[in-house]
A and B are shown apart, each in its own frame.
Chain A
């Protein structure tokens, strides 16, 4: 049905989010059928808040260079992570696979492979996650702002 997010594959650059340019925030908004509910300028970085119709809130953090350095989400359902992580989605999946092999945490995600940091916690119907790329964080900004 057309009303749902479909599996149409688009060029990765068109819906790169994490690591993409601020223009991809608009692409995320459209793709996730979300409303842009806030733009918050916080000095060295800016936060766009999106509200997905499933009830999940998504935030995208970008710096003066226009690159998205972090994303976060909170709500009853996981967002489209391929969309949100863009070119970092494969790296995220590899991190999840590694955690399954080792004595890894279950019931949550904690990835830090030096390039990408992803933390997802919560339970069914109450999920919260953050992801950021340390190298893209503007100088002087603490990674903890992504929340």
Chain B
């Protein structure tokens, strides 16, 4: 049985196995600059010890892989991952809106009753190793909780590791995500075996490790200051994470499905780390940009849209959504379902898509009752 989306509960007594559910809150977050961002608490420990810290305000991101923690939020000393020759492994991960730079460290990662032992995580910040220009030239470094709009990022997307095969191969095809730093100012791009790459923690849980379910209640037009929901680990592994009537949408080699809008088909994806429904552009939608909230649309009156999501497997479903004038919404409201914005030539179904739904993200190569990942289901 899937818990009602309108009243997700994190009650371990409702399941017979490992407690696989942690509460989500959508609010302003730890530095009060969050907008449509979902947060959870994550416990990290020095591996195989009881030296642990629970960090709240970690952004739930189904569009990336791996746990990343702002160095200012981390108070325990995690062990540094080193290369075979003793250099520190440091990562430059390009996100769309910036890069995260900082050392790869090893931690036991715990959420609810789940635990990933001694996994690589990234500690974000340039306080130990200067950002090389080859990293900053890929984007603007995000270093602080203000930059990140959170104390860290929990990447629980469709993949296992944050890079994969490309980072294991030397030469020009290497995307240059991992560096070996022999001292604070000497860092060179290096190869990184997949086993040592920063990893989706869910993929390393002992069980409930084939994906996640995010359940959030519906949000009425006008918005809310905050919202609570649930992050459930595993798909079809326990009584609380079955697919039920959810439809499975498989993806292409790039990790995209399609969305049809006004009889045209566009690449599309579902991403809890995007804080609006970002689709097409002003000529295609008739929606004007916001004078204040740049990048979002601000129609003078509420507009209703519908589009059809289509999986690589041919599954399809109609999605109805609203576009509203978010410049006119109470600036203290962090939960706004009608937040939309531009994304030329594509559909990014961000967090507002999750409101009122249970959304499943299956990890590549993992078996589930809905087939082998990767896929999304809702």
A binds B: yes
Residues of A within 8 A of B (CB): 1, 3-7, 9, 33, 53-55, 76-83, 89, 92-93, 96-112, 119-130, 144, 147
- Find B64's partner among A106, A123, A129 (CB 8 Å cutoff): A123
Q: In the bound complex, do residue A93 and residue B343 qualify as a contact, i.e. CB atoms below 8 Å apart?
A: no
What distance in Å separates the Cβ of B127 from its nearest Cβ neighbour in chain A? 19
What distance in Å separates the Cβ of A56 from its nearest Cβ neighbour in chain B? 9
- Bound CA span A30–B238, Å: 53
Q: In the bound complex, do residue B96 and residue A107 qualify as a contact, i.e. CB atoms below 8 Å apart?
A: yes
Spot the interface stretch: B4-12, B118-126, B137-145, B229-237.
B137-145
Complex A-B: 29 CB contacts under 8 Å = A1-B188, A3-B172, A4-B189, A54-B174, A55-B173, A76-B166, A76-B254, A77-B94, A77-B175, A81-B139, A89-B137, A99-B295, A100-B142, A100-B146, A103-B33, A105-B293, A105-B296, A106-B149, A107-B61, A107-B275, A108-B97, A109-B96, A111-B295, A121-B348, A123-B157, A124-B157, A127-B96, A130-B344, A144-B344
Nearest residue, chain B, Cβ from A122:
B96
Residue in A77, A98, A107 with the greatest tally of chain B CB atoms within 10 Å? A107
Could you count the A-B residue pairs with CB atoms below 8 Å apart for me: how many are there? 187
Q: In the bound complex, do residue A107 and residue B274 qualify as a contact, i.e. CB atoms below 8 Å apart?
A: yes
Those 10 A-B pairs whose CB atoms lie nearest each other, nearest first: A110-B295, A82-B137, A107-B274, A7-B133, A105-B295, A123-B63, A126-B254, A77-B175, A33-B172, A53-B172
What distance in Å separates the Cβ of A114 from its nearest Cβ neighbour in chain B? 12
B173 surroundings in chain A (CB, below 8 A) = 53-55
Residue in A100, A119, A121 with the greatest tally of chain B CB atoms within 10 Å? A121
Q: In the bound complex, do residue A124 and residue B64 qualify as a contact, i.e. CB atoms below 8 Å apart?
A: yes
Interface assignment of B289: CB less than 8 Å from any CB of chain A: yes
Per-residue A-contact encoding for B177-195, CB less than 8 Å = 1, 0 else: 0000000000011100000
What distance in Å separates the Cβ of A104 from its nearest Cβ neighbour in chain B? 6
Q: In the bound complex, do residue A103 and residue B331 qualify as a contact, i.e. CB atoms below 8 Å apart?
A: yes
B172 surroundings in chain A (CB, below 8 A) = 3-5, 33, 53-54
B94 surroundings in chain A (CB, below 8 A) = 77-78, 127
- Bound CA span A105–B297, Å: 11
Q: In the bound complex, do residue B159 and residue A9 qualify as a contact, i.e. CB atoms below 8 Å apart?
A: no
- Bound CA span A1–B37, Å: 39
Interface assignment of B354: CB less than 8 Å from any CB of chain A: no
Q: In the bound complex, do residue A80 and residue B348 qualify as a contact, i.e. CB atoms below 8 Å apart?
A: no
Interface assignment of B300: CB less than 8 Å from any CB of chain A: no
Interface assignment of B244: CB less than 8 Å from any CB of chain A: no
Interface assignment of B71: CB less than 8 Å from any CB of chain A: no
Interface assignment of B162: CB less than 8 Å from any CB of chain A: yes
What distance in Å separates the Cβ of A58 from its nearest Cβ neighbour in chain B? 13
- Bound CA span A96–B345, Å: 21
Q: In the bound complex, do residue A105 and residue B63 qualify as a contact, i.e. CB atoms below 8 Å apart?
A: no
Given contacts A54-B172, A77-B94, A108-B97, 15 further A-B contacts (CB under 8 A): A5-B176, A6-B134, A54-B173, A76-B254, A103-B292, A105-B341, A107-B63, A107-B348, A110-B341, A119-B344, A121-B278, A123-B255, A123-B348, A124-B64, A124-B155
Interface assignment of B360: CB less than 8 Å from any CB of chain A: no
- Chain B contributes a number of interface residues (CB within 8 A of A) equal to 70
Q: In the bound complex, do residue A1 and residue B341 qualify as a contact, i.e. CB atoms below 8 Å apart?
A: no
Q: In the bound complex, do residue B273 and residue A106 qualify as a contact, i.e. CB atoms below 8 Å apart?
A: yes
Residue in A33, A105, A127 with the greatest tally of chain B CB atoms within 10 Å? A105
Interface assignment of B98: CB less than 8 Å from any CB of chain A: yes
Nearest residue, chain B, Cβ from A146:
B344
Nearest residue, chain B, Cβ from A93:
B140
A55 surroundings in chain B (CB, below 8 A) = 166, 173
B174 surroundings in chain A (CB, below 8 A) = 4, 54
- Bound CA span A80–B63, Å: 21
Within 8 A of A (CB), among B196-229: none
Q: In the bound complex, do residue A96 and residue B189 qualify as a contact, i.e. CB atoms below 8 Å apart?
A: no
- Bound CA span A100–B45, Å: 30
- Bound CA span A9–B97, Å: 23
Per-residue A-contact encoding for B344-372, CB less than 8 Å = 1, 0 else: 11101010000000000000000000000
Nearest residue, chain A, Cβ from B256:
A126
What distance in Å separates the Cβ of A122 from its nearest Cβ neighbour in chain B? 6
Interface assignment of B171: CB less than 8 Å from any CB of chain A: yes
A104 with B294: in contact, given A53-B172, A76-B254, A144-B283 (CB under 8 Å)? Answer: yes
Interface assignment of B276: CB less than 8 Å from any CB of chain A: yes
Q: In the bound complex, do residue A99 and residue B149 qualify as a contact, i.e. CB atoms below 8 Å apart?
A: no
A6 surroundings in chain B (CB, below 8 A) = 134
A100 surroundings in chain B (CB, below 8 A) = 33, 97, 142, 146-147, 149
- Find A126's partner among B33, B162, B171, B269 (CB 8 Å cutoff): B269
- Find A147's partner among B269, B276, B345 (CB 8 Å cutoff): B345
A102 surroundings in chain B (CB, below 8 A) = 292-294
